[in-house]
Structure 1
Amino acid sequence: MFGILKIDIGNNRVYGLDIIRCLAIFFVVFGHGNLFISDSTARYLEYFVFDGVSIFFVLSGYLIGSILIKEIETKPFTTDVLINFWKRRWYRTLPNYFLVLSVLIILSYFFTSNFNLSDSLAYYIFCQNLYYPHPNWFPEAWSLSIEEWFYIIIPVVLFCLIRFLDLKTKRSVLLTAILVIFSVTIFRYFRSMEMVLLTGGQRDLYFRKQVFTRIDSIMFGVLGAYIAYFYKSFWIHYRKILFAIGVVLLISNRFFIKGELNSFYTTNFAFTLNSIGTLLILPLLSQIKSGKGFVYKVVTYISLISYSMYLINLTLVKNWIISNMGIDFINSYFTLIINYFLYWIFTIVISIFLYKYFEVPTTKLRDNKKSDQ
C-alpha cells in the first residue's frame, strides 16, 4: 500500500538547500493552519512562523540565477538559449499550477454561487496582481505570479545587456540585480507615502503580494548566485559568520514588523531585511551536500513535494476538502485537533500523489525532449 506513496530520491540534491526549502513550506502550511484556531492563540504562534514565501523567493532566485549564469557564461547567449531556459522552467512550474488552477475553477464554477469565471482567467497569464491587490480567490497564487514574471523579465534584461550593449555576464547580472532591487524599493517607498494602511491585511495586499512590489526579493537570490559564482572563495570562507548574521536578521525582523503599519520599516525595509537574512544563510546551507538517517529522508521528501504542498494546502485542502467534510464534535477542541490533523495528512498525501504521478512525468517529458534534440 505504501509503495504508491514512495518517492525516489535522486543523487544530485543539495541537502542544505532541501533543509531551507522544507522549513519554508512548513512555515507556509503551519501559518495557513493557524486559520483553524482562535485569533488570540494564533497571535502568539505567529512569532514562531517566518515568512516562508519570502524564503522561497530568495532560494528560487539563487537557484535560477545560478542556472542562468552558468548557461550564459559557457555559451553565447542566443535566442535559442533564452527560449530553452523558458521551456525548462515552464515544464517545471506550469503543469502543476494549471492543473490545480483548473480543478479549482471547475469546483468554484459548479459549487460557488457568486463565482465569476472571467475573473479567474487572469490567473492563467499571471496578471491578477501585477500592481494591484490580489483577489480573494486562490490567494496563494500571488507568489507564483511574481515567480513567473521574474522568469520572463530578468532573462530578457540580461539578454539585452549582453547582446545589444555588449556587456559581460558578470557586469550584466550585477547591474540587473541592483537596478531591480533599487527600483522596487523606490516604488514601495512612494506608494507608502501615498497610502494610510489600517490593517496588516492591507499591508499584505498593497505591498507584500504584488509583482511590482516584491520581485526584488528574488533578485537578492540572484545576487547570491552572482557572489557564489564569481566570488566563490568569499562565499565559502565566510559562510559560518554570514549564517549567524542571517539568523539574527530573520529573527529580529520577525519581531520588528509588529510595529507601526505605515512606518518606512514595515512597508519597505522589512521585506529587504528578510531577503538579506535569507541570502546570508545560503552560503553555509549550500555547502551541506548530503545527509543520512530518518531526518534526512523526511526533509528531502518534504522538499520534493513542497511545490505541490504550496499549491493545494490552503484553497483546495483547507477551504474545499476540510471545510466541506463538516466534522463537528461536541468538544470544540477535539474538532479543531481532528481538522488540523486531517489538514496536514491531506496536504502531504495529495502532494505526494501530485508530485509522483504528475509533476515527475511532466518533468521527464521535458528532459526527454531535450535528449531528442
Structure 2
Amino acid sequence: MNRLPGLDLLRAIAIVWVMLFHALRIGTPSREFSIYGWMGVDLFFVLSGFLIGNQLFKSISQRHELNIREFYISRAFRILPAYLVVMSIYFLVPLTQEGRGLQPLWQFLTFSVNLFIDSKYSNTFSHVWSLCVEEHFYVVFPIIAMLFMNRGGAAKVIILSLVIIAFGMYLRSDIWLNELGSGPFVRLYIEKIYYPTYTRLDGLLAGVLLATLKVFRPQLWGATMKHANKILFVGFSGLALAVWIFQNRFGLLGTVIGFPILSFSLAFIVAGASSSKSILGMYSVPGASVIATLAYSLYLTHKSVFHIVRSTIGTQLSSNGYQEFFVYSMAVFLVAIVLYVTVERPFLKLKVQFLAWNSARFQRTSGIST
C-alpha cells in the first residue's frame, strides 16, 4: 500500500501530541501546545475512520462485496500481538504499572476497559480506552457498511453517521447535566463522557463521511481536492475554534459541540493532507514516516516507559525537567522500536502471508482460477 506523506505526518503529529500531553508533569518544550495533546486521540479517530472506511467502501464499490472475515483477520494480526504482549507485561511486571491499579484482566481481553473503568482505584494502562473505541468500531462498522450499501448506498451511511453524531451530542449533554453532580466531577466526566464508545464516535464517523465522499462521489472529491490548501485552512481555523472552546475542557459547551467541531475540523485537515497538492501532502517530512510507523508501539508503551524512567533515575533528572523529558523520549522510542521489530513487524508480514494463503485456499476449494 502506498503511503501518503501528508497522512504519515498527521499520524506522527498525533502520537507525539499524545505523548507530550502525558509528559506534562515533567515539563515539555511547549506547555501551551501540550495541554491540548488529548486532541491527538481525536486525530487518530478521524484517520482510522477515513482509512478503514476508504478500504471497505472501495471493496464494496469495486467488487460489490465485502469479505468481513478477511477484514477481521487483518485487524487481529495488526492489533492483537503487540497489545497482548504489552498487556501481559503490565500484569506480570509491577514496575511497569504507572497508575493506581489495573482493571480486571477480562476487561482488557474484551476491550471493555473504557466501559467499566473505575479510575479512582485503577487507572493503569487506562490509555487503551481509545483502542477499545476503535475495536468496537472495527467489529460493527463493516457489518453496517455492508448492510447499508446493499440497501441504498452512500446516502444512508451519511444519514446514519450524522444521526449518531447528533445523538452523541444529546447523550453527552444529558450525562453532563444529570449524572456528574454526585462525586468528583472530573473523574466522573472521564468515566461517563470521555471514555465510553457511545459518546466518542464523532471522530471515527467524521472520517467515515470523508471516505464516503471519496469513494462514492469521486468527481466531487476530485474537484474539492484541487483546493486542498483552502481545505486545510478551513480545518485549521476550525481547530483553532475547538481549542478556544476547550479552554474549559470539561465545560458543557465543549462537551456538546466541541467534539463534533474538533472532529470535522480534523477531517478537513485529513482531507487536505491526503492530497499531494497540499502543503502537508506535497513533501515527505524527514522522520515523519518512521514515527508514523512506530505510532502503535509508542501508543502502547509510552506511559509505562515514562513511569519506569521516573521510578529508576527520576531523582537524578528531576532538577532539570527538559533533561528528564529528553531521556524519557529516547527511552520511549527505544522501547517502541524493540516492540515493533520483535512483535509488530513480524506479525504484519505473517498477516500478508496468511491472507494470501487463505485466498489461494478459497480459490482452490471454490474452483476459481486466476
TM-score by length of 1: 0.84
Q: Specify which of 128, 133, 155 is matched with residue 141 of structure 1.
A: 128
Match of 1:25 in 2: 15
Match of 1:219 in 2: 205
Q: Specify which of 81, 88, 92 is matched with residue 95 of structure 1.
A: 81
Find the aligned partners of 1:131 and 1:153 in 2 and give their Cα distance: 20
**Distance change >3 Å, CA 170–CA 115, structure 1 → 2:** closer
Residues 1:348 and 2:333 are matched in the alignment:
yes
Matches for 1:1-373 after TM superposition, within 5 Å: 12-37=2-27, 44=32, 46=34, 49=37, 51-77=39-65, 81-108=67-94, 119-130=104-115, 135-162=122-149, 166-196=150-180, 199-229=185-215, 230=217, 231-259=220-248, 261-263=250-252, 265-288=253-276, 291=283, 296-314=285-303, 316-319=304-307, 321-329=308-316, 332-334=318-320, 336-372=321-357, 373=360
CA deviation after TM superposition for structure 1 residue 209, in Å: 1.7
Q: Which runs of 5+ in 1 are unaligned?
A: 1-10
Residue type matched to 2:254 in 1? T
Corresponding residue SS for 1:327: helix
* CA RMSD in angstroms, aligned pairs only: 2.8
CA deviations on 1:221-261 (whole Å, 9 max, x unpaired) are 00011112223224313322221011011122112212384
Find the aligned partners of 2:354 and 2:340 in 1 and give their Cα distance: 20
CA deviation after TM superposition for structure 1 residue 89, in Å: 1.4
**Distance change >3 Å, CA 236–CA 350, structure 1 → 2:** same
**Distance change >3 Å, CA 243–CA 25, structure 1 → 2:** same
CA deviations on 1:65-124 (whole Å, 9 max, x unpaired) are 00010011122435xx111111111211121111111111111399999856x7132111
**Distance change >3 Å, CA 282–CA 327, structure 1 → 2:** closer
Corresponding residue SS for 2:287: helix
Find the aligned partners of 1:16 and 1:169 in 2 and give their Cα distance: 29
Residue type matched to 1:156 in 2? I
**Distance change >3 Å, CA 168–CA 131, structure 1 → 2:** farther
Match of 1:3 in 2: none
Q: Which runs of 5+ in 2 are unaligned?
A: 361-370
Q: How high is the sequence identity, in percent, across the aligned residues?
A: 23
Partners of 2:148 and 2:157 within 8 A in 1: no
Find the aligned partners of 1:272 and 1:113 in 2 and give their Cα distance: 30
Find the aligned partners of 2:282 and 2:347 in 1 and give their Cα distance: 26
Partners of 1:236 and 1:284 within 8 A in 2: yes
Corresponding residue SS for 1:297: coil
CA deviation after TM superposition for structure 1 residue 172, in Å: 4.0
Q: Which moved more, 1:41-50 or 1:355-364?
A: 41-50
Find the aligned partners of 1:167 and 1:147 in 2 and give their Cα distance: 25
Partners of 2:46 and 2:266 within 8 A in 1: yes
Find the aligned partners of 2:156 and 2:69 in 1 and give their Cα distance: 19
Residue type matched to 1:325 in 2? T
**Distance change >3 Å, CA 107–CA 233, structure 1 → 2:** same
Partners of 2:50 and 2:208 within 8 A in 1: yes
